Amino acid sequence: MDVERFRQGMRQVAGAVTVVTTRGPNGERRGVTATAVCSLSTEPPSLVACVNRGAWVAQFAPASGVFAVNVLAADQEDIARTFAGQTGLVGEERFQVGAWRAGVTGAPLVANCLAAFDCRLDRAVEHTSHVILVGHVVETVLGAAPAVSLVYVNGAFTRVAAVAD
């Protein structure tokens, strides 16, 4: 299998841009930009988020038992870039970008994002370079609709407008 060819193929798969967040053992906030997020079930409401095992989220979420998935709007690209490590800010410093509040679980939620899913961790599964977080959604916060979504495709951020009813 040609890994570079696989990587190029996966770059063609557009993904909603999210920031997966959690809290550490001392309450410190951590987050990482991720596109590998999807719903798992509605009964009970559950989702899956895949994060690199080197990210603090992969280490802190299993310890705290909570995480959140924040779905970003097109005008929140600065948050996406910050949590993707493109601005030089690290750790708690990253939360200086954007407006934040604590969810029911204590996980950080982005204010005015398209949707935020506050989760209790059901299971963390390690698989090669990543940790798969399976979460039970305890709160869903919806932003204003219709909105323009931030997506990532072919190595770049772009926008997708909501479809009119």
Give the pLDDT of residue 56. 93
Domain that holds residue 59: 3-161
* Peptide bond connecting 44 to the previous residue in cis, omega within 30 degrees of 0: yes
DSSP assignment of 67-123 equals EEEEEPBGGGHHHHHHHTT-SS--GGGGGGSS-EEE-TTS-EEETT-SEEEEEEEEE
CA distance 15 to 8: 14
The CATH number covering residue 144 comes to 2.30.110.10
Residue-level pLDDT, tens digit, the chain, 165 residues: 788 999 899 888 889 999 999 999 889 999 999 999 999 999 999 999 999 999 999 999 999 999 999 999 999 999 999 999 999 999 999 999 999 999 999 999 999 999 999 999 999 999 999 999 999 999 999 997 778 999 999 999 999 877 665
pLDDT at 165: 59
Please give the tally of structural domains in the chain.
Answer: 1
Distance of alpha carbon 134 from its chain centroid, rounded? 13
The pLDDT score that the predictor gives to residue 146 is 74
**Burial (CB count <10 Å: 0-12, 13-18, 19+), residue 144:** exposed
